[in-house]
Amino acid sequence: MNEPPLYLDHAATTPLLPAAREAMLEGLDRWANPSSPHRAGRAARAALEDARERVKAALGWQGELVFTSGASEALAIALTRCRLAPAAVSGVEHEAVLRHAGEARKLAVDGNGLVVEPLPAGLVAIQHANNETGVVQPIDRFAEDVRAQGGLLLADCAQTAGKLSLPDADLIAISAHKFGGPIGIGALLVKDWATLRPSGGQERGYRGGTENLPGALAMAAALEQGRDWMGSAARLRERLESAITAAGGEIVAAGAQRLPTIGACRMPGVSAAAQLIRFDGMGIAVSAGSACSSGSLRISHVLGAMGMQDKAASEVIRISIGIETKDCDMGRVIAAWRKIAGKASLAA
């Protein structure tokens, strides 16, 4: 009866890749301060700059890179220190963007969660892929529109960095622990320093605080593992979603272009909270929306913006796939789904 725990919440965080852990442990032994002028400090500085170049190379990013404590901090820097004020953000952004948006206009999305409104001038923030549904926005096209008006595009790529090619945005936020690096480090990618006001301190004056060298080394190592598993993730999700659909479930934005690792699935008649308790009892970790908002009983603002009714939205869970997820894991979660849904239909 006691099956091993099955983790299918990789959009919340994903295990540290072995290469990243090794790099982190090596990094913990190189504890000198990268700003110190002595030999140990200079060696730490050289390792940090090497990690920066490796992260940029692995991402194919030609611009600048500021290491931060995570994507939330990277977004906060972009939204508060960009030379242009936030003019608009999509209605399906992560809270880390929405709560910094101030007076910025909230851009409406269609039923698939895609931004459909014309974009204004100024700083516009649109995520690459949504953290709850995986829906991918056509960022390159949005960037063209925004730039044509003299504006700048900020793309939250926390879910896609290390999985999809980076879009062509002016400012990009990423988080290491979403792609197999450690929690506690992320980065803001900056196409042109001139778009951002410095704050003083480390990272060329764009982020103060002693640098987290072990984190930076582990982040580089994680990205260098590549992303050739997206095809197999897509196949696993296809199996999962067709079985769920056959069992009476519904897939959110099934027809849209989506990140292959995230599926948002509705089980009609069973609240997400009840599903989570049942899955958890069977040793399966899934989530209702984002980890940050879970625990709160609020209805997902993402599904609401897409026009879903409150009751339907409250029945949606997120199943997210990682690099080590296997075909038999899908079998197990499908069986669990049928069990939970079946009991519900018997009760009804």
Partner 1 sequence: MIYLDYQATTPLAPEARDAMLPWLAGPEGMGFANPHSPHRPGRAAAAAVEFARDKVAALLPPGGRVIFTGSATEALNLALLGRNWKQVAVSTIEHAAVLDTAQASGAAVHVLETDGDGLVPGNIAIPSGTGLVAVMQVNNEIGTIQPVAAIADAAHATGALFLCDAVQGAGKLAPPEGADMIALSAHKLYGPKGIGALWLRDGIELAPLIHGGGQEGLRSGTLSPALCAGFGAAATLASARMEADASHAAALWVRARELLPDWTLNGSASQRWQGNLNLRRDGLDVARLMSDLRDIAFSAGSACASGSGRPSHVLRAIGLSDRQAKSSIRIGFGRYTAMGDLEDACARIDAAATAQGV
Interface residues for partner 1 in 80-99 (CB under 8 A)? 80, 94-96, 99
13 belongs to the binding site for partner 1 (CB under 8 A): yes
At residue 288, the 3 state secondary structure works out as coil
Q: How far apart are CA 47 and CA 53, in angstroms?
A: 10
1 belongs to the binding site for partner 1 (CB under 8 A): no
140 belongs to the binding site for partner 1 (CB under 8 A): no
**Cβ closer to partner 1: 33 or 254?**
33
Q: Which region, judged by CB under 8 A, interacts with partner 1, from 109-117, 163-171, 202-210, 302-310?
A: 202-210
Q: Which residue has the tokens 């009804």?
A: 348
40 belongs to the binding site for partner 1 (CB under 8 A): yes
* Subset of residues 46 to 75 that bind partner 1, contact rule: CB under 8 A: 68-73, 75
**Cβ closer to partner 1: 111 or 209?**
209
Residue 292 appears among annotated catalytic residues = yes
32 belongs to the binding site for partner 1 (CB under 8 A): yes
The pair of three-digit structure tokens given for residue 205, joined into one six-digit string: 């004056």
Burial class (CB within 10 angstroms; exposed 0-12, middle 13-18, buried 19+) of 172: buried
307 belongs to the binding site for partner 1 (CB under 8 A): no
208 belongs to the binding site for partner 1 (CB under 8 A): yes
Burial class (CB within 10 angstroms; exposed 0-12, middle 13-18, buried 19+) of 69: middle
**Cβ closer to partner 1: 175 or 300?**
175
Sign of the dihedral through C-alpha 168, 203, 200, 207: positive
| Residues in a beta bridge with 153 | 124
N- to C-terminal Cα separation, the chain = 28
Among 63, 138, 268, 283, binds partner 1 (CB under 8 A): 283
**Cβ closer to partner 1: 254 or 282?**
282
Among 47, 66, 92, 100, binds partner 1 (CB under 8 A): 100
Backbone angles phi, psi at 136, to 5 degrees: -100, 130
Closest approach, Cβ 211 to partner 1, in A, equals 7
Q: Which region, judged by CB under 8 A, interacts with partner 1, from 120-128, 177-185, 253-261, 340-348?
A: 177-185
271 belongs to the binding site for partner 1 (CB under 8 A): no
# residues contacting partner 1 (CB under 8 A): 72
Q: How far apart are CA 101 and CA 16, in angstroms?
A: 32
Sign of the dihedral through C-alpha 213, 215, 221, 223: negative
Contacts of 104 (CB under 8 A, 6+ apart): 85, 86, 87, 88, 89, 123, 125
Residues that are catalytic:
292
